[in-house]
Amino acid sequence: MKSKLLFALTLLPYCLFNGNTLFSSEKPATMRVDYYHTGNALMEIFSLHRVVVEPLLWPGNPDKNIDNTNRGLYLFEIVEPLTNAVLYSRGYSSIFGEWQNTAEAKNMHRTFHESVRFPRPEKMVRLRISKRDDANRFATIWSMMIDPEDMLVVRKSRALETKVLSVLNNGNPAKMVDVLIVGDGFTASETGDFKKYAAELTENMFAVSPFKEFKNRFNVWAINIPSPESGTSRPSNGTFRWSRIGATYDAFRSERYILAFDNQALREIAQYAPYEFLIILTNSETYGGGGIFGQYTTVAAKNEWRQYLMIHEFGHHFAALADEYYTSPVAYNEAMGSKPEPWEPNVTALQNPQELKWKAFVRPETPLPTGWPKKEFETFQKKNQAERKKLRRENRPEHEMSELFRREQEFCENLFAVSPNHDKIGAFEGANYEATGYFRAQINCLMFTRYDKFCRICREGIKQVIDLYVD
């Protein structure tokens, strides 16, 4: 078993071999396109900020260039201009894509900074970004030509102000899934705290299936640039802290939602470590976090429920798993009219039970929809959520909120245990933030309550993404 202690990493060159003529046959660099994403609830505009060659070589597997998972609200592709052949692709979601479904987006325009990364091409290519239409099919909404030899491509970056640390090192980044943990709001004197939480939460994540079974296919790195002041902004109670990456509670006016809004600063820090996935640890105790597919995970590192928060939010970021809960308030507008089939792998509108996306795992005798004690659950949650709001309104100590969550979880697990369908895979109504019309695969899951296990379908969804990056 590897030591939990973090140690400084000397970033040595690592070889990538690629038979595709688009990329250097030896060691392709990492190219990043930074752009602005502007709009409102009904329209969106992309505009180029800059094209950057990052300091490190491309960390990805050269044999895994094409994304076949069909996940994400958006899809970016690197395309050979003459033949229109797709040379590299990844699905993803974005802050703008989430914000577009908030009430605020109906009344104003906003701009968010975003990035896509890919192996540096040797020749001119086209970047093509698509978004899902009403039928959930990808349709192109922006494209631009990229000349890797253009003199305006940024080729020099400010030196990193700290060391890159290794939390889990299983070898060549090109053969591993690489995760980078970034600290936010930790002062120089709190660097030890950051290292402790990074090591602890890494160990916690790889104790949960299916990450546990694939631990030897992951690398985990860590970077913490000391903050001038300790803590994380929480506007709802008047707490404000300057942050290098703009991490804050109350994202989209949801008190527990933490997002980092300075994407450029985040990417300029992250570019000094090999990574495909990002986790941001905020130096805060209040319950909160966030996860956006292909962007990053955020976790309140000092909260008592940090282990659950880390794994749940990483499920969003890593595998595009949807939230399965529906009784907690969220910032997004409720879907109106008919409910389209979600692209996320773990929820369904069950428009045709014969075509259920996880039908292969359902026993023939299991009814669809599948019964569960929904009424009893909702009756309890009505009182529980009222108590939760009261605790926040009165700014009560965080341990009282943690105790409320413990009582809630005990009630849920006891209620579900006596259900005749407690261990079955089926279609349980209530998911995707809505009480009716959307269904989850099992009665309980880490994406539904603060349970300690993923359901079978979420585990399969995670394994499919692991396979996208490693053999």
DSSP state of 375: H
Give the residue, 70 or 19, on which the prediction is more confident: 70
Whether residue 146 has pLDDT greater than 80: yes
Tell me if 302 sits within 8 A of 284, measured CB to CB.
Answer: yes
Residue whose token pair is 């707490």: 239
Q: Residue ranges per domain, the chain?
A: 29-146, 165-319, 347-469
CB 212 within 8 A of CB 206: yes
Two structure tokens written together for 134: 């009403």
Count other Cβ atoms within 10 Å, centred on residue 291: 26
Separation CA 146–CA 118 (nearest Å): 12
Q: Which pLDDT belongs to residue 17? A: 28
**Is-same-fold flag (29-146; 165-319)?**
no
Instruction: Give the helix/strand (H/E) hosting 440.
Output: strand 434-440
pLDDT tens column, 263-300: 999 999 999 999 999 999 999 999 999 999 999 999 99
Residues 311 and 299: their CA atoms lie apart, in Å, by: 9
Tell me which of 3.20.20.60, 3.40.390.10, 2.40.128.20, 3.60.150.10 is the CATH number of domain 165-319. 3.40.390.10
Indicate whether 179 pLDDT > 50.
yes
Q: Which residues are registered as beta bridge partners of 36? A: 47, 113
Mean pLDDT of the chain, nearest integer: 93
Q: Tell me how far apart the alpha carbons of residues 353 and 342 are, in angstroms, rounded to a whole number.
A: 14
- From CA 163, how far away is CA 170, in angstroms rounded? 19
Question: What are the tens digits of pLDDT across the range 81-112?
Answer: 999 999 999 999 999 999 999 999 999 999 99
pLDDT bracket for residue 158 (50, 70, 90) = confident
pLDDT of residue 429: 98
Q: Per-residue confidence at 2, pLDDT binned at 50, 70, 90? A: very low
pLDDT at 332: 53
Name residue 234's beta-bridge partners. 239
* 29-146 fold: Immunoglobulin-like (2.60.40)
pLDDT for 25 beyond 60 = no
Mean pLDDT of 55-77: 97
Write down the pLDDT at residue 161.
87
| Confidence band, pLDDT 50/70/90 cuts, at residue 335 | low
What φ, ψ does residue 56 adopt, rounded to 5°?
A: -105, 160
Collapsing DSSP states into helix, strand and coil, what is residue 114?
Answer: strand
Question: What pLDDT, on a 0 to 100 scale, did the predictor assign at position 27?
Answer: 84
Task: Say yes or no to pLDDT of 466 above 60.
Answer: yes
Instruction: Name, in order, each residue with C-beta under 8 angstroms of 170's C-beta and a sequence gap of 6 or more.
Output: 176, 215, 216, 217, 218, 219
pLDDT-derived band of residue 68, with 50, 70 and 90 as boundaries? very high
Please report the pLDDT score of residue 284 as a whole number: 97
Break the chain down into helix, strand, coil percent, rounded to 5: 25, 25, 45
In which band, very low, low, confident or very high, does the pLDDT at 7 lie, cut at 50, 70 and 90? very low
Mean pLDDT value across residues 323-340:
74
Q: For 389-404, write each residue's pLDDT tens digit.
A: 999 999 999 999 999 9
